[in-house]
Amino acid sequence: MPNWQEVLNEIQQETSKGQLAVDNVRRRYMAELAKETGRNLIAYYSGWLQKSHPSIWDALSINDDDKNGFMSTVHRLDRSKGVDLILHTPGGGIAATESIVSYLKKMFGINLRVIVPQIAMSAGTMIACAAEEILMGEHSNLGPIDPQYSGISCEGVLEEFRKALEAVKKDPDSLALWKIIIEKYHPTFLGDCEKTIKWSKEITREWLKQGMFKNDTRAKYKITKILSVLSSHRKTFSHGRHIPIETCENIGLKIVRIEKLGDKLQDLILTVHHAFMHTFANTGAIKIIENQNGIAKVDIRNIGR
């Protein structure tokens, strides 16, 4: 299978022939990967690493419009084959994430695997937790699922508020300083943060219970251990923390190492990933949802290229 540069060479050769090079190369290897696994393949790819820009961040993130892409790619697939979701995303809205996972479960039951060739952060990690197993390599990372509210860590806000209460109890004169900080919170903000944390934990817990740990007598213990790390701002320090494969294994997620699947399958997964990266780098595409048959929803923008 070709490496990064060889995939680019293929694209350049097809471009010289006047063909839709990036699409042809990407779809060829997606079809090969699906043939090799005998399963359906849907790619959900965001180009945020190449084109992060405030004006298009909502489009780069998981959002409700993505449901249309999943509906298009699932249509006419043989659902008895299950589905592999190859995932590359910075995360996004919890409501949209919950809706997408609910839809995939209705279509495929728990016969869902998630492949993370590089990064699935935040709500992307929540999607990965809905799978029976997660395929990762030495180069792959998940991210914390502690939710953000208007770009601010919900758990961080509550931690700061608790710190303020303790400080004022010990030293009432510190109230003036903490008042300046706390006044930036709008009414109901603390309550909204608490509810958002509870929401993300509850749905992720349920997905782990239904899929990865179905019929496992120790499911409750295992899920609690996983969430105690993934959902903890205190333990991960940053919402942008990249959690490596070793940590994912150690906390109890069911991880399949891509390197142990055989050279052909490993190379196909990475080649598909490289093809998507080249697509974002060489076109106006910022997000692609696509199946092994070439059915795709492509969001194209000119901003941030």
Report mean pLDDT in 10-residue bins for the chain, 305 residues.
Answer: 69 62 91 98 96 89 96 96 98 96 97 98 97 97 87 78 81 79 77 90 97 96 96 88 97 97 96 95 93 94 62
Token duo for residue 180? 């300046």
Token duo for residue 17? 């022939």
Domains of the chain: 4-143+242-300 (3.90.226)
pLDDT at 185: 78
Exposure string over 178-192, b if 16+ CB within 10 A, otherwise e: beeebeeeeeebeeb
pTM, full prediction: 0.88
Q: Do residues 157 and 185 lie in contact, with contact meaning Cβ atoms separated by under 8 Å?
A: yes
How many residues are there in the chain? 305
Residues 6 or more apart in contact with residue 200 via CB below 8 angstroms: 94, 126, 145, 146, 147, 231
Looking up tokens 């993130």, which residue turns up? 61
What do you get for the CA distance between the two ends of the chain, in Å? 29
pLDDT at 304: 44
- Burial of 170 (C-beta count, 10 Å sphere; 0-12/13-18/19+): exposed
Report CA-CA distances (Å) from 72 to 22, 123, 161: 21, 22, 45
Looking up tokens 């409501």, which residue turns up? 95
What whole-number distance in Å separates Cα of residue 275 and Cα of residue 22? 7
Q: Do residues 286 and 59 lie in contact, with contact meaning Cβ atoms separated by under 8 Å?
A: yes
pLDDT at 174: 80
pLDDT at 170: 87
Looking up tokens 């060479």, which residue turns up? 9
Pairing of strands 119-120, 133-136: unpaired
Query: Which parts of 53-179 are beta strand (E)?
Result: 83-88, 112-116, 119-120, 133-136, 141-142, 148-149, 152-153
- Continuous segment of H or E residues that includes residue 268: helix 263-282
